[in-house]
Amino acid sequence: MTIEPRGRGTAIVRLVGRLDLISASGLKEGVVAAVGNGQHRLVIDLHAVPFIDSSGLGALIGGLKAARQAGGDLRIARATEQAAMILELTNLNRVLVSYGTVEEALANF
């Protein structure tokens, strides 16, 4: 996971590999730390994440809550087919807004 600051409290979080029971807690901790550092408008780039499970989804929701509590938001960008499917099956696509590109997600903050 890499966090790329973009100024004015905005950052891009880039993930590589599966977001699952093994890696979910790392994402949650990373996002909470970023929010604590003043980066409360976050875009999670899912381009290189081939698979997300419910633990990964839980970490994204946890990150969303942390960002909102700080007055910011968390968006996701470039979700793969599997990520889009799991968001739809859980109805969480209504709260975790997905954008086609990272730039689109950033432009909407």
Residues that bind another protein (CB under 8 A): 18, 20-22, 51, 53-55, 57-59, 61-62, 64-65, 81-82, 85-86, 89-92, 94-95
CB 8, min distance to another protein, A: 26
CB 17, min distance to another protein, A: 10
Question: Of 8 and 91, which CB lies nearer to another protein in the complex structure?
Answer: 91
Question: Of 74 and 102, which CB lies nearer to another protein in the complex structure?
Answer: 74
Backbone angles phi, psi at 10, to 5 degrees: -110, 145
CB 7, min distance to another protein, A: 28
CB 107, min distance to another protein, A: 25
Question: Of 6 and 65, which CB lies nearer to another protein in the complex structure?
Answer: 65
How does DSSP assign the chain, residue by residue? -EEEEEETTEEEEEEES-BSTTTHHHHHHHHHHHHHTT--EEEEEEEE---B-HHHHHHHHHHHHHHHHTT-EEEEES--HHHHHHHHHTTGGGTS-EESSHHHHHHT-
**Bridge pairing between strands 73-77 and 2-7:** unpaired
Question: Of 81 and 107, which CB lies nearer to another protein in the complex structure?
Answer: 81
